[in-house]
């Protein structure tokens, strides 16, 4: 080797290089041999270049040479071999490229000298066909280069480089692990580059290539473990996520998420991480919902792998931002696994984080699981599924509060807020379960979101009366009141809503006002910049004013004047602000409540008063005896209950023990079978190991043979080299001669080819010209034929025009003749009209009297018909409801059958799939089942232990209770003895008589089994006792009648207060169970029903409830006062007189009732979610098996109830009673109110009818709406008039239609038009003309036969002949028209 080069040439290579170089025509042989070899790479002889490349590649494999070649600058020329066009040459370049890249300094050198492109150019455009190991060697070199950080950055940021790598994978028809794995490793390593992650990996097709690799190698889990982290990093960028989806990445991820656990837990975790990033896009959400992947995620939630559960929850959390995904997730029965996750992880201790160690996943898992539950709780069926779980689901949710992490607490509170937003029975169950204390603790947090969720939850829960009392007793009113004054608008509104909800419950109105609630209401009303806060303040005032004592206090403080000022301000803003309009309505309601009188005599009376009681000594005696009897009964009941519970527990315990023993036996059998399978697996593994060992031995033998063959080949090659050198010169000469010969043959071939091409071009040109000539002649022939056809058509048009002109002349002549005939007919009609007018004037007075008589008869007949129609409508309504019920049942049956059919098909499909998967999953499922059964056995054993402890505790508590009861009985007995011994005097029975009375009382109780529980019972028995011990009296007969009336009046008063209390309760059920939940859901992500429909269905039911609560409070106060002092008269008439002004609002409700019920039925048919909500709410025990419609009709029926009850009370009121006059006035005013409401109802119906007619009539001058105008009748009718043309009469005779109003007749023509949707049709009426009715309008009933009559207007000079389908129709129209004219005449019109 020359001293100028440090390149090491081994002896074996030296023996090849030296003879080769001597045989080559090298100009400068003074340079090192390495330089001579490099110079031969530029030779025109591919064989020489191949040999030189072979020797250079061999030198590159020598480790020292890698440094020397770099230092001497030979790396670039050697790598240029990759650009050689001859595959045999470039193949050796790949070996050199691979070897040179296996050194860190060379990696930097290749990068710094821009040699990376040589690798990727060769990789992107490999020769076809590629030599053996060509791509494999290149990929190995690229992979080595990519181990350098800076190289990775360059490769990852170069789209061309990425395209080269990607093309290798995409063009690979069959997977070659030697190449594919290297490409994947390289792409994964460069994907961490920032530029590569953002653009190059996507634009270079690397994402599609990686996904394609996953598809080609579906069972290669090791390869997937390498690719998935790269896809996870890439999916952070939004365009990359779209590229992953477009390449089918979601399908590959889904396939691997469903792999069996736990052996593929790591791979599933990687898929879930990538899914978490992808799930932020709508397209992924749609894919998951369409392919129902939530089932696979839910399976993961049942596992015990914390990382898998955490990532699955993250992916689901992102997906649930889409409403369709939320519904799909709910349909997958996600509630049980989520509750299981919350229950398991809430009991786990959170380890303290050490430095350098990752944080515990427990808080994150808990927070996400509870958050998902809160999302699901926005759906009604999810709430029901949650509450129907048998493992105390509310307790499990509350257990999450034990986790000391604020996010978990916030999500728990959010879940409770969502869970309590719909149904009152759920709110009650939550309150009993103890959810309010932890929510109140959240209210003390400094985190705004925690406080907001706590306020939301308390707002919903406070709608329940029991929960409101719990909140009041929790002593947090000061905190809530303080929040009513903060600047945060949302929190402020929520806090005020809690106060509003609490004041809806009667027992809390007085305590809350004492806490400063009325002052808070004034402060809220002063928030002029916030109408929502003002509205809540007005609601507070409204609710507080329902209590008489509060009304007095607010009146003294000038609330009425303040509210009037706010009302004026709201009126000014009502036209431009819907919120101000609501505020105005609420203030009007509050003012109405304040104006209801407060009776000074009751100001110190509490809300609940006991009834009047007899003398103290007698009461003490009876109450002591009652307590003794109650204690005895409770003790007996407790003993019986204890014995029953003990027997049940013993039976249950024995059953549980037997079940545990049976399951233990099953588990042992399963273990035995599993052990047998494990032994079979072990034997199979041993056989596989022996077979593998045998194959390894065969492989070693094969390699030894190959080595021997290689050595023999080398020996043979050495012998051939000498012969090769000898033949080199001869070969060179032969090659040169061959080259010249080929060049001469190629020249002759080119000349021959050019000659043939010229001849072919000439032939094609001749054919083209001939074709163009033929086309030109054909075009000229077509144009000639077209001109002839146009001339013929023009002649025909001229003839047709001449014919039309002749027909037009004939038509004009016929029209002139017809016009003259019409003029003659009009003259005759005029003369006839004059004659009839004279006759009509003579009979006018007689007809007027007859009309008045007929009008009277018609009114009587109409009244009878109205009653008959009401009966008919009631019968039709009942039949309609029955038909609807049958139809609903038929639909439900059809839906059930369809559901069963689909379920059967799905079940058969699942069974088929299960059978196919059984062989692969049997062992895994048995292992999982075995573990679960062991866990269940442990849990059941714990449950047995817990029940035994509970039974023991119950027994101890009952023993203590019996001892306490015995002590109390002894004390009661002593009290009885003391009471009996303390009686003296003539007015008190003797001790013996007292004991006899007590004995008789006890016997009576034991006989009737009805303990004394109320003051009224005590009073009644006391009066009986007094009557028995006092002398009899003989009042006069008139006094007896008066007493009988007063007794009946007292019973009616009790019935009145009972009816009113039930009515108010029904109204509160409408608001509490139906209206409030629907309004709460309006602002949610998926409202049950739009706000406008809610308003139309329920109308002003809240206003009616408010005013009737005032009435109930007034009646209750009066009747309780009278019960305390029955010597004073009971007055109720003045209360109803005051309430009549408030009850005019019933007109609005009743006018809207029909539309409301129709809209309710239509909404239930078209909105499945609304129908489900109504059905669920109607199952609440408070509804007493009644439907919503039966509640909504109560306000319609209430006014007649008042009239009946007050009339009965008036008949039972003595003549000298002070309530006689007020009660008479109340009955009269209530009747007038009912008449007013009915009249408003009729006017509303008339208005609706007029509006409907207006919509049906089209055309000019079609306005039928006018003040005072009322619709009377409509129907088909043929009519002739002096202004109607003959052609119109003939054209419209079959479709004429007439409308009669109280002041005019409208003549139209009807036509039927189809609906755009479906096959429904509607009738439209086109305005033709009209006839105003006045005292100048007369009827000639004698003309026209039995189906027609004539109508004439002498002022306008119009005469109409009206012909009806039948004589009966004629008679009806004649009567209606006559009555309308008579009414106008009476008005002087």
Q: What is the CA radius of gyration of the chain?
A: 51
CA 1138 to CA 1143: how far, in whole Å?
10
How far CA 830 is from CA of 387, 1288, 1290, 1334, in Å, comes to: 86, 21, 22, 20
Pairing of strands 1271-1276, 1278-1281: unpaired
What b/e sequence results for 132-157 when a residue is b if at least 16 CB atoms lie within 10 Å of its CB, and e otherwise? eebbbbbbbbbbbbbebeebbbbbbb
CA dihedral of 863, 864, 869, 870, whole degrees rounded to 10: 70
Pairing of strands 1321-1332, 1257-1258: parallel
> Are the CB atoms for 156 and 188 separated by under 8 Å?
no
DSSP string, 378-428: TSHHHHHHHHT-SS-HHHHHHHGGGS--HHHHHHHHHHHHHHTSS-HHHHH
DSSP string, 618-686: HHHHHHHHHHHHHHHHHHHHHHHHHHHHHHHHHHHHHHHHHHHHHHHHHHHHHHHHHHHHHHHHHHHHH
262: cis peptide before it, omega within 30°?
yes
The SS3 call for residue 565 is helix
List the beta strands (DSSP E) in 974-1082. Answer: none
Instruction: Provide the pLDDT for residue 953.
Output: 66
Q: How many CB atoms are closer than 10 A to CB 722?
A: 10
> Are the CB atoms for 1132 and 1219 separated by under 8 Å?
yes
Mean pLDDT by 10 residues, the chain (1389 residues): 66 85 81 85 84 86 84 86 83 85 86 83 76 77 81 77 77 74 79 70 81 82 84 84 86 82 79 84 82 82 85 86 81 88 86 72 89 86 83 86 88 90 85 90 88 91 89 86 84 89 85 81 76 83 83 81 77 68 81 74 38 37 51 58 64 69 72 74 76 78 79 78 76 79 81 81 81 80 78 77 78 78 78 78 79 82 82 82 83 81 78 71 68 66 65 64 54 45 36 34 35 36 35 50 86 90 92 87 80 90 90 86 83 88 86 90 90 88 87 90 90 89 90 84 78 82 77 86 61 74 88 51 79 86 78 83 88 89 79
pLDDT tens digit sequence for 1101-1152: 989 998 898 888 888 888 888 888 887 888 888 889 888 888 888 888 988 8
- Which H helix or E strand runs over 1349? strand 1348-1353
The SS3 call for residue 1363 is strand
Instruction: Provide the pLDDT for residue 1339.
Output: 87
How far CA 866 is from CA of 812, 858, 863, 871, in Å, comes to: 56, 12, 5, 9
> Are the CB atoms for 427 and 504 separated by under 8 Å?
no
Instruction: Provide the pLDDT for residue 614.
Output: 36
Q: Is 475 left (phi over 0), alpha (psi -120 to 50) or beta?
A: left
Q: Is 1344 left (phi over 0), alpha (psi -120 to 50) or beta?
A: left
Which residues, including other chains, have CB under 8 Å from residue 898's CB and lie 6 or more apart? none
Angle at 846 between CA 843 and CA 847, to 5 degrees: 80
> Are the CB atoms for 1114 and 547 separated by under 8 Å?
no
Q: How many CB atoms are closer than 10 A to CB 254?
A: 16
DSSP string, 10-67: -HHHHHHHHHHHHHS--S--SS-HHHHHHHGGG-S-HHHHHHHHHHHHHHHTSHHHHH
- Which H helix or E strand runs over 1070? none
The sign one gets for the Cα dihedral 346, 349, 351, 352 is: positive
How far CA 465 is from CA of 425, 431, 460, 503, 1140, in Å, comes to: 11, 10, 11, 10, 30
Dihedrals phi, psi of 1335, to nearest 5 degrees:
-75, -5
CA 202 to CA 234: how far, in whole Å?
9
CA 61 to CA 217: how far, in whole Å?
33
CA 878 to CA 883: how far, in whole Å?
9
Which residues, including other chains, have CB under 8 Å from residue 293's CB and lie 6 or more apart? 254, 257, 287
CA nearest neighbour of 417 among 374, 379, 381, 356: 374
Q: How many CB atoms are closer than 10 A to CB 356?
A: 5
CA 492 to CA 501: how far, in whole Å?
14
CA 1038 to CA 1046: how far, in whole Å?
12
Q: Could you tell me the pTM of the whole model? A: 0.57
The sign one gets for the Cα dihedral 513, 518, 519, 520 is: positive
What pairs with residue 1362 in β-bridges? 1279, 1349
How far CA 682 is from CA of 145, 203, 686, in Å, comes to: 44, 50, 6
What b/e sequence results for 1329-1347 when a residue is b if at least 16 CB atoms lie within 10 Å of its CB, and e otherwise? ebbbbbeebbbbbeeeeeb
Instruction: Provide the pLDDT for residue 904.
Output: 79
pLDDT tens digit sequence for 601-648: 444 443 332 233 333 344 444 454 455 555 556 555 655 666 666 666
The helix/strand count (H/E) of the chain reads as 55, 9
The SS3 call for residue 1323 is strand
CA 38 to CA 96: how far, in whole Å?
13
CA nearest neighbour of 445 among 495, 397, 406: 406
Burial class (CB in 10 A: 0-12, 13-18, 19+), 1083: exposed
């Amino acid at each position: 080797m020359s001293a100028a080069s440090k390149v090491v040439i081994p002896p074996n290579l030296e023996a090849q290089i030296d003879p080769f170089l001597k045989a080559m025509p090298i100009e400068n042989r003074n340079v090192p041999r390495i330089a001579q070899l490099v110079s031969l790479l530029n030779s025109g002889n591919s064989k020489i270049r191949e040999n030189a490349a072979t020797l250079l590649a061999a030198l590159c494999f020598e480790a020292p040479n890698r440094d020397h070649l770099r230092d001497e600058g030979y790396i670039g020329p050697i790598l240029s071999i990759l650009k050689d066009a001859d595959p045999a040459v470039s193949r050796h370049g790949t070996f050199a490229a691979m070897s040179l890249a296996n050194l860190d300094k060379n990696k930097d050198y290749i990068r710094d000298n821009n040699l990376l492109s040589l690798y990727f150019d060769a990789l992107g455009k490999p020769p076809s066909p590629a030599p053996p190991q060509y791509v494999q060697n290149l990929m190995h070199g690229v992979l080595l280069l990519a181990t350098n950080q800076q190289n990775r950055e360059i490769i990852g940021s170069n789209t061309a480089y990425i395209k080269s790598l990607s093309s290798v994978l995409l063009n690979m028809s069959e997977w070659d692990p030697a190449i594919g794995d290297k490409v994947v490793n390289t792409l994964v390593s460069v994907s961490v580059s920032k530029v590569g992650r953002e653009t190059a990996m996507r634009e270079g097709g690397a994402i599609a290539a990686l996904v394609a690799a996953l598809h080609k190698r579906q069972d290669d889990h090791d390869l997937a473990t390498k690719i998935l982290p790269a896809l996870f990093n890439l999916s952070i960028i939004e365009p990359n996520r779209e590229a992953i989806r477009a390449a089918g990445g979601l399908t590959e991820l889904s396939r691997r998420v469903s792999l069996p656990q736990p052996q593929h837990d790591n791979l599933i975790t990687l898929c879930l991480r990538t899914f978490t990033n992808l799930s932020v896009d709508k397209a992924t959400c749609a894919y998951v919902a369409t392919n129902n992947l939530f089932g696979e995620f839910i399976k993961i939630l049942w596992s015990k792998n914390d990382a898998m559960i955490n990532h699955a929850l993250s992916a689901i959390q992102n997906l649930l931002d889409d409403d369709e995904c939320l519904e799909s997730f709910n349909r997958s029965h996600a509630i049980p696994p989520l509750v299981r996750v919350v229950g398991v992880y809430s009991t786990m201790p959170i380890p303290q984080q050490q430095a350098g160690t990752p944080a515990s996943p427990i808080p994150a898992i808990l927070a996400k699981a509870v958050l998902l539950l809160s999302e699901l709780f926005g759906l009604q069926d999810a709430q029901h599924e949650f509450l129907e779980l048998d493992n105390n689901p509310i307790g499990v949710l509350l257990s999450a509060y034990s986790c000391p992490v604020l996010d978990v607490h916030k999500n728990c509170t959010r879940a409770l807020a969502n869970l309590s937003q719909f149904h009152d029975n759920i709110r009650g169950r939550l309150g009993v379960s103890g959810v309010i204390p932890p929510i109140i603790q959240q209210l003390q947090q400094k985190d705004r979101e925690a406080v907001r969720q706590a306020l939301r939850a308390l707002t919903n829960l406070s709608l329940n009366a029991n929960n409101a009392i719990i909140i009041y007793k929790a002593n947090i009113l000061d905190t809530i009141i303080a929040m009513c004054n903060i600047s945060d608008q949302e929190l402020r509104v929520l806090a005020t809503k809690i106060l509003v909800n609490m004041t809806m419950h009667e027992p809390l109105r007085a305590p809350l006002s004492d806490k400063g609630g009325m002052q808070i209401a004034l402060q809220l009303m002063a928030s002029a910049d916030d109408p929502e806060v003002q509205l809540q303040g007005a609601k507070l005032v409204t609710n507080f004013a329902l209590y008489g004592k509060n009304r007095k206090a607010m009146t003294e403080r000038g609330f009425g004047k303040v509210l009037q000022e706010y009302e004026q301000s709201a009126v000014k803003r009502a036209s431009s602000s819907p919120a101000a309009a609501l505020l105005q309505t609420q203030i009007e309601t509050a003012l109405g409540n304040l104006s209801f009188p407060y009776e000074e005599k009751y100001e110190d009376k509490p809300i609940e008063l006991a009834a009047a009681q007899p003398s103290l000594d007698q009461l003490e005696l009876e109450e002591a005896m009652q307590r003794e009897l109650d204690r005895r009964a409770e003790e007996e009941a407790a003993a019986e209950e204890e014995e029953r519970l003990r027997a049940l527990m013993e039976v249950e315990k024995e059953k549980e023990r037997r079940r545990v023993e049976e399951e233990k036996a099953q588990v042992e059998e399963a273990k035995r079978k599993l052990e047998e399978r494990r032994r079979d697996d072990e034997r199979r593994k041993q056989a596989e190991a022996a077979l593998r060992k045998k194959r390894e031995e065969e492989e070693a033998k094969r390699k030894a043979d190959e080595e021997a063959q290689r050595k023999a080949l080398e020996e043979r090659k050495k012998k051939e080299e000498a012969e090769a050198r000898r033949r080199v010169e001869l070969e060179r000469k032969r090659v040169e001669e061959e080259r010249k010969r080929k060049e001469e043959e190629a020249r002759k071939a080119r000349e021959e080819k050019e000659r043939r091409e010229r001849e072919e071009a000439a032939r094609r040109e001749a054919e083209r010209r001939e074709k163009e000539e033929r086309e030109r002649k054909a075009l000229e022939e077509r144009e000639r034929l077209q001109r002839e056809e146009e001339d013929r058509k023009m002649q025909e048009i001229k003839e047709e025009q001449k014919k039309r002109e002749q027909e037009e002349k004939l038509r004009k002549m016929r029209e002139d003749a017809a016009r003259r005939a019409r003029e003659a007919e009009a003259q005759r009609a005029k003369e006839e009209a004059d004659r009839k007018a004279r006759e009509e004037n003579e009979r006018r007075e007689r007809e007027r009297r007859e009309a008045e008589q007929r009008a009277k008869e018609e009114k009587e007949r109409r009244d009878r018909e109205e009653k008959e129609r009401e009966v008919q409508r009631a019968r039709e309504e009942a039949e309609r409801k029955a038909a609807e019920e049958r139809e609903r049942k038929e639909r439900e049956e059809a839906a059930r059958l369809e559901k069963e059919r689909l379920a059967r098909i799905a079940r058969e499909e699942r069974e088929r799939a299960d059978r196919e998967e059984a062989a692969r999953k049997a062992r895994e499922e048995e292992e999982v089942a075995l573990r679960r059964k062991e866990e269940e056995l442990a849990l059941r054993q714990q449950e047995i232990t817990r029940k035994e402890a509970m039974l023991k505790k119950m027994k101890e508590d009952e023993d203590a209770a019996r001892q306490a009861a015995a002590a109390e009985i002894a004390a009661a007995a002593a009290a009885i003895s003391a009471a009996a011994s303390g009686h003296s005097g003539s007015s008190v029975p003797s001790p013996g008589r007292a004991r006899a009375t007590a004995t008789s009382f006890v016997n009576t109780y034991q006989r009737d089994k009805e303990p004394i529980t109320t003051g009224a019972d005590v009073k009644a028995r006391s009066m009986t006792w007094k009557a028995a011990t006092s002398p009899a009296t003989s009042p006069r007969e008139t006094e007896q009648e008066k007493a009988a009336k007063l007794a009946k009046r007292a019973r009616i008063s009790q019935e009145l207060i009972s009816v009113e209390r039930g009515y108010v309760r029904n109204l509160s059920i409408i608001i509490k169970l139906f209206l409030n939940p629907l309004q709460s859901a309006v602002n949610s992500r998926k409202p049950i029903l739009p706000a406008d429909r809610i308003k139309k269905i329920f109308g002003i039911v809240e206003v009616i409830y408010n005013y009737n609560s005032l009435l109930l409070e007034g009646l209750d106060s009066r009747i309780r006062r009278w019960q305390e002092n029955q010597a004073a008269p009971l007055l109720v008439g003045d209360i109803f007189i005051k309430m009549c002004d408030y009850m005019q609002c019933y007109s609005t409700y009743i006018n809207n009732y029909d539309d409301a019920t129709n809209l309710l039925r239509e909404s239930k048919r078209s909105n499945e979610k609304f129908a489900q909500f109504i059905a669920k709410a109607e199952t609440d025990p408070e509804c007493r098996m009644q439907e919503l419609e039966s509640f909504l009709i109560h306000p319609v029926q209430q006014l007649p109830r008042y009239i009946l009850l007050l009339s009965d009370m008036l008949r039972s009121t003595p003549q000298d009673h002070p309530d006689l006059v007020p009660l008479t006035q109340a009955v009269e005013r209530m009747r007038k109110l009912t008449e007013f409401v009915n009249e408003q109802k009729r006017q509303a119906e008339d208005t609706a009818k007029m509006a409907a007619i207006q919509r049906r009539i089209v055309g000019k001058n079609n306005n039928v709406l006018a003040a005072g105008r009322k619709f009377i009748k409509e129907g088909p009718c043929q009519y002739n008039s002096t202004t109607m043309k003959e052609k119109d009469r003939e054209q419209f005779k079959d479709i004429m239609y007439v409308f009669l109003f109280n002041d005019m007749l409208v003549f139209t023509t009807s036509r039927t038009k189809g609906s755009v949707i479906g096959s429904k049709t509607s009738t439209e009426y086109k305005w033709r003309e009209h006839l105003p009715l006045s005292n100048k309008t007369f009827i000639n009933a004698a003309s026209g036969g039995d189906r027609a009559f004539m109508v004439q207007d002498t002022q306008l000079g119009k005469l109409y002949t009206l012909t009806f389908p039948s004589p009966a129709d004629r008679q009806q129209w004649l009567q209606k028209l006559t009555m309308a004219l008579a009414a106008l005449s009476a008005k002087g019109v």
